[in-house]
Structure 1
Amino acid sequence: MTDTAALAPAAPAAGAAARLEHLPVTVFAIVMGLAGTSLAWQRATRTGHVTPAVGTGLAWLAAGVLAVVASAYLTKVVRHLPAVRAEWRHPVKLAFVPTATISLVILAAAFLDTAPTFSAVLWWVGAPAQLVLTLDVLRTWIGDPRFTLDHVHPAWFIPVVGNLVVPLAGVAHGPRQMSWFFFSVGLVYWLALLPIVLGRLVLGGALPGRLSPTLAVLVAPPALAALAWVRLGGTFGDAPSQILLDVTLFQLLLLATQAPALVRLPFAISGWAYTFPLAAAASAFFGAGAAGLGAGFTWLGATVLAVLSLVVAGLGARTLLAVRRGELCLPDPAPPIPVARTSADGRTDTDLET
């Protein structure tokens, strides 16, 4: 992630190799956004008013960005392993680590019809890796005493809800029970985390500015659950889908009430957090419209897709500018980490350690 400090020009002495140490794992959110937008445009194609070239082109663009981003991050792993370990154990940044594996399974869904073999390769690499990272993140949340309610933010949904993406291509590439497994984990843990995240948002004070875009992540779980449910044999007209679609719409309306404040935030890579949830919502609405639930859902899908496309275009242009200016890989001041300390008389204080 970046913040307002990242908008300052890079120091001349900082070369590409030095900046690589600060490449944030959140760059994989760009791939998630582009691949999700590809899926939304593919859904729009089924209305008969959109050329399939848009969705296909976005899928290949996302694959190209993944190749660049993955190569750069793997180079960081080789050259700056301590920095990677620190990022993967940071109380705030840890939640973004599974964006790497989620990118693979989203792309697998995006290529399911146009390049099924490539889709299968992406899925068989991404799905097991997603399980490993989900277990690792949950193990760390449970076992690391540094984690407190102050560190909770909506991106905490990413590690577990990413499992809901797996069935989108999984029903075509693997045993059906595997897709049910990932769906079950994603759904139950979303519902388990929901009161924790809402409690943090309501009672824990405002999110830091660079984490505010993660409010959009609240839209993704019900939309993805609806899409996965249908892939597993449900229909958009049954009760579970109706509930999930309505919750998706409510979360979009709630996000819209935050829009005036969110649009004033300075650019940060975390802004890509808007894109994939909007894409999931558009895909779910288009699916509901195509299933005969009414033209209103199709119009909802088209509206969300239009907003999504504008957001992706704006973020894409601003990200390219950040890369050209050397803003992408600058040190990111870490939020304070509360550390519990016990005094001699047995009382516990919470000091702030960065």
Structure 2
Amino acid sequence: MTTQNADASSTAASSPPAPPAHSLAHLPVGVFAIVMGIGGTAVAWFRAGEAFGLALPVDEALAWIGLAVLAAAIVAYGAKVARHPKAALAEWGHPVKAAFVATIAVSMMVLAIAFLPISEAVSAALWWPGAVLQFVITVLVMRTWIADARVQSVHVHPAWFIPVVGNLVAPLAGVAHAPAEINWYFYGVGAVFWLGLLPVVLNRLFVEGVMPWRLAPTLAILVAPPAVASLSWVRLGGSWEDPLAMMLLGVVIFQLALLAAQSAYLRKVPFAVSAWAYTFPLAASASALLAAYESGATDFAAWVGVVALAAATLLVLGLGWRTAVAVARGELLAAEG
């Protein structure tokens, strides 16, 4: 045996074996986007009830389902971190996957909003750890984008907005739990870095070619920032009659139209956990439009909001069933092809 072959054999022997094709090591951190979709839809149903004077228990049911899914996701992903720490660390530092780490914090804060009219104590118990995680994750993810030489323009995708939009989500329940300075901190970071990141993401979409199919559903995330920004602006003391809120609602409607124009292509994309990226943006846009309608906006806002809520609800039901099938088949623990 040559020295080179001996060295190679020695390296192979000392390296840990790769995880099998189906392993907890492959569980994606994006599973927390499921909670975002369910919780966001719960909030949208609450808005619908307020706007139309309905007393439907859909929002409360979805909130509790979301909490159960969050608990399951924390247990499952916590087991991955404990058993396969190298796989988790690799995911957190990955140029493409790192952005999805923020779904952990955002899912907690979205559920905090859903539980605010149900139990302020539960809402606070979700919001505070979510807000702390949001602060930490935003710093760490942006450090990765800045300092990691592997990050190139081709790695950019709309899910990069998740660590940023999470800051805009924080004030929606944070107004009830934290001092004004903390909520304005989150809003400022979210608004400034959303606008700063927007041309970077658009450049990727316009000039770097079509995204891989697994990331195609993240195109829906473009809807979320203006929707959440408008909701938080009003929650922090603004009004739906303010020029800023009206402008943001206009951007929401445009983004919904742009998403609808791509639906023929998006329907052909095979199922993956990333498909849950459709749900929260649609639910957030429904919440914003229905809240604006309740405040006196035109009936057009109500119609678009109802359509967005119906789409979000149908997607939550359909993706929930498909995800349950994927869990039963072990697809969520399969290595990416």
Bin of the TM-score, shorter chain as denominator length: over 0.9
Q: Percent identity?
A: 54
Counterpart of 1:152, as a letter, is: V
Per-residue deviation at 1:50? 3.4
Residue equivalent to 1:314: 318
Q: Does 1:50 align with 2:54?
A: yes
- The TM-score with structure 1 as length reference comes to 0.88
- Structure 1 runs, 4 residues or longer, greater than 4 Å off: none
1:166 aligns with 2:157: no
Question: In the alignment, is residue 190 of structure 1 matched against residue 214 of structure 2?
Answer: no
Listed one character per residue, the Cα deviations across residues 308-351 of structure 1 (whole Å, up to 9, x for unaligned) are 11111111111011111111110114xxxxxxxxxxxxxxxxxx
Q: What residue identity is the alignment partner of 1:241? A: A
Q: How many Å apart are 1:40 and its aligned residue?
A: 0.3
Asked if the contact 2:48/2:54 (under 8 Å) is kept, the reply is yes
Provide Cα deviations, 1:130-174, integer angstroms capped at 9, x if missing partner. Answer: 000000001111000000001000011011111000000011100
- Say yes or no: does 1:152 pair with 2:169: no
- Does 1:36 pair with 2:36? no
Match of 2:256 in 1: 252
AA matched with 1:309? T
Q: Distance in 1 between matches of 2:165 and 2:57?
A: 29
**CA–CA distance in 1 between the matches of 2:247 and 2:199?**
18
CA distance in 1, matches of 2:56, 2:228: 22
Alpha-carbon distance in 1 for matches of 2:145, 2:51: 43
Name the structure where helix makes up a greater proportion of residues.
2
Root-mean-square deviation (CA), in Å?
1.3
1:225 and 2:229 aligned: yes
Quick one: which of 200, 204, 213 aligns to 2:208?
204
Residue in 2 that maps onto 1:106: 110
Count the aligned residue pairs: 319
The code of the aligned residue for 2:50 comes to R
Specify which of 58, 78, 83 is matched with residue 87 of structure 2: 83
- Residue among 291, 294, 306 paired with 1:302: 306
Moved more, 292-301 or 314-323: 292-301
Query: Matches of 1:73 and 1:250 in 2, distance apart?
Result: 36
Q: Are positions 1:293 and 2:297 aligned together? A: yes
Q: Which residue of 2 aligns with 1:120?
A: 124
Q: Secondary structure at the match of 1:267?
A: coil
Alpha-carbon displacement from aligned partner over 1:209-264 (angstroms, at most 9, x marks no partner): 11000000000000000000000000111100000000010001011110000001
The reply to whether residue 332 of structure 1 matches residue 336 of structure 2 is yes
* TM-score, normalising length: structure 2: 0.93
1:7 counterpart residue number: none
Helix, strand or coil for the counterpart of 2:211? Answer: coil
Could you tell me which amino acid in structure 1 is paired with residue 26 of structure 2? H
Give the distance between the partners of 1:311 and 1:261, measured in 2 at CA: 16
2:94 aligned partner, one-letter code: H
Letter in 1 for 2:90: A
Q: Distance in 2 between matches of 1:211 and 1:276?
A: 15
List alignment gaps of at least 5 residues for structure 1. Answer: 1-12, 334-354
Pairing 1:233-272 to 2, within 5 Å after superposition: 233-272=237-276
Q: Provide the rounded CA distance (Å) in 2 between the counterparts of 1:19 and 1:44.
A: 41
Q: 1:60 aligns with which of 60, 64, 70?
A: 64
Measured in 1, the distance between the counterparts of 2:209 and 2:53 equals: 45
Separation in 2 of the partners of 1:312 and 1:97?
Answer: 21
CA distance in 2, matches of 1:281, 1:248: 7
After superposing the two structures, state which structure 1 stretch, 48-57 or 218-227, moved more: 48-57
- Distance between the aligned counterparts of 1:153 and 1:14, measured in 2? 28
Bigger mean CA deviation after superposition, 27-36 or 46-55: 46-55
Counterpart Cα distance in 1 of 2:107 and 2:284? 14
**Whole-angstrom distance in 1 between the partners of 2:70 and 2:110:** 11
Distance 2:210 2:55 in 1: 42
Q: Structure 2 regions of 5+ residues with no counterpart?
A: 1-18
CA distance in 2, matches of 1:106, 1:87: 23
Is the aligned partner of 1:140 residue 2:138?
Answer: no
Deviation of 1:14 after TM superposition, in Å, equals: 6.6
**AA of the residue aligned to 1:197:** V
Instruction: State the distance in 1 between where 2:213 and 2:199 align.
Output: 22
Q: Deviations over 1:55-92 (max 9, x none)?
A: 00000000000000111111111111000000001111
Is the partner of 1:212 in helix, strand or coil? helix
Distance 2:84 2:143 in 1: 24
